[in-house]
Every structure is written in C-alpha cells, then in structure tokens.
Amino acid sequence: MHSRGDSVSYSDLRLRDAHQIRAAIRKGSYNRHTAGLAAGKLQCNLAILPEASALDFLRFCQRNPRPCPVVAVSDTGDPYLPTLGHDIDIRTDVPRYRVFRDGELTEEVTDISALWRDDLVTVALGCSFTFENALMASGIPMRHIEQDKTVSMFRTNIPLVPAGPFAGNMVATMRPVKTDRVADAYRISAAFPHAHGAPIAQGDPAQIGIADLGAPDWGDPVEVRGSETPVYWACGVTPQNVLMNARLPLCITHAPGHMLIADLAETLDAPLPLAETTNR
C-alpha cells in the first residue's frame, strides 16, 4: 500500500497536467472525484477481472458499446496500461477503487497492490467526462463540476444484450441542460462515441425507470431549474451493475466518479508515441 501524502485540493489539481495528477493520486494525496481535471485528456472507467471471465466481458462490451466503449485492454497479469500512458500503474493511479467478491461490494480502497494477481485483466472504458469538456467549451455548463460534486447516476429500466454471465440494465448519468441548448448537447456529445456518445433520453425520468432525480443511486443530486431539461447519457458505471450480477469471485472497479486519467487526448486522434507505450 502506498503511504498517505499531504492532501492536495481539487482546485489545485485543476491547474496540473495528467501526469502530475496521477502522481498525487499515487502518493495518496488525492482520493476524490476527477470531473473537470486534466481537461483535454481521456478519462476512463475500469473493470478488473480474472482472465477466465474477460472474454465474455469483452463480448458484453462489444454488444453494448454505448455504456461500455472499450478504449484499452491490458495483458493478463500486467498492471500497466502503456497504450493509455507510459507510467500508468493500475494498482495505484485511480483515486478510489471498489472491490467486489461474489457480487457483493466488500470494500473501497485507494490502492489495490495487495489484491493484484497474475490472472487479472484490466478493461478501460470511455467516460462521459470527455464530452463534458466539449459541452463546457461550447457554453453548456456542468453544474456538478461548478459545485464540486460527483455527477448523478441512476439505475434504469433499459435492458442490455447479455454475454455469458454478464447481463442487466443500463446505468445513466443526468445533467441539467438549458432547454434551448439540448439539441446542441446531442450534437456535441454524439461526436464522442468512445465516451458514450449522444444522450439516450431527455425529460421525464420515469420513461427510463428513474423514480426520483433527487435520489441518485451513485453520485450527488443536482438541481434541475425551470429553464432546464434533464438529459440522460449512458454511463460507465453500467459494468459495475453487470459485474455484481455475474457474482464473480473477485472483480475490481473504479469508485463512481473516480476515474483513471490517461495521457491520450480525449479525441483519441493523437495516440501516444511508440517510445512512450513501451517504456514504463
């Protein structure tokens, strides 16, 4: 386990680059949400699971690309993700992890070095924080970022295509958008299919099985004001729901809102130089 360092504030980290942010996380100096950090860099959801179940899980992701857009897969037993960053160590570089055993959440930790095994595979999935940067750059504010909160996440009634033991319903995020900008939000986010793409719904939450926008299943509630429409996107917490249903002996994910920050541009149009992908 890494030792705890002096804490670093969210406002301070917003001024730092991806490498510096990961270094602070690795030291144990920051263990909160990553929304709004390292603008322009890809952030990733994570699913870490035994190799014996990894192929079925990848099939599930391929069949459900909106909530589960795969952006990287590790070698078996290798805790590094060189295609996302030359120094990324998946055991230490996420602010907070969730550990599931037999489908039950057993602990949240800030370091999984003691849990690492030679048969584990890491699957990194695109994250909605990517399109949030594009929305904000176009003048569509993100209230949870302004208020230093974790985005609201909800279980829905939208079924997913199963694969092997993996099945369940989609999880969605909700963001209030000024009603006259909703069409822009659809257009802008649709340009990021690796980060969940366009919204799946807008308006009445009941249409996708959400009972109360003030009571998210994960994250923090945010107000929807009179001039705004709630807009819903597929969410990378979906795999956590699915992994719990599969009741694997062990799987590890990021804690909702606590992402892996990569060195890749969030547009994925500027891959890492080969030298960076081969050197740790």
pLDDT at 275: 45
Q: Tell me the pLDDT tens digit for each residue of 194-203.
A: 889 999 999 9
Same domain, 149 and 162: yes
pLDDT at 12: 87
pLDDT at 278: 47
Same domain, 220 and 133: yes
Query: How far apart (Å, rounded) are the C-alpha atoms in residues 115 and 13?
Result: 28
Q: What is the CATH number of the domain that holds 112?
A: 3.40.1640.10
Same domain, 219 and 172: yes
Same domain, 16 and 112: yes
- Ranges of residues in the chain with a pLDDT under 70 are 1-5, 268-280
Q: What is the CATH number of the domain that holds 183?
A: 3.30.2040.10
Q: In what order do the strands lie in the sheet with 228-234?
A: 152-159, 169-178, 228-234, 201-202
Same domain, 253 and 229: no
Handedness of CA 176, 37, 77, 251 (dihedral sign): negative
pLDDT at 39: 81
**85 is a domain residue:** yes
**280 is a domain residue:** no
pLDDT at 22: 93
pLDDT at 14: 86
Same domain, 97 and 198: no
Same domain, 81 and 182: no
Same domain, 174 and 44: no
pLDDT at 2: 43
* Residue 144: domain span: 129-238
Same domain, 120 and 168: no
**76 is a domain residue:** yes
Amino acid at 272: L
Three-state secondary-structure class, residue 120? strand
Query: How far apart (Å, rounded) are the C-alpha atoms in residues 58 and 55?
Result: 5
pTM summary value = 0.85
**270 is a domain residue:** no
Same domain, 73 and 162: no
Same domain, 87 and 173: no
153 pairs with which residues across the strands? Answer: 173, 218
**160 is a domain residue:** yes
Same domain, 226 and 256: no
Q: How many domains does the chain contain in total?
A: 2
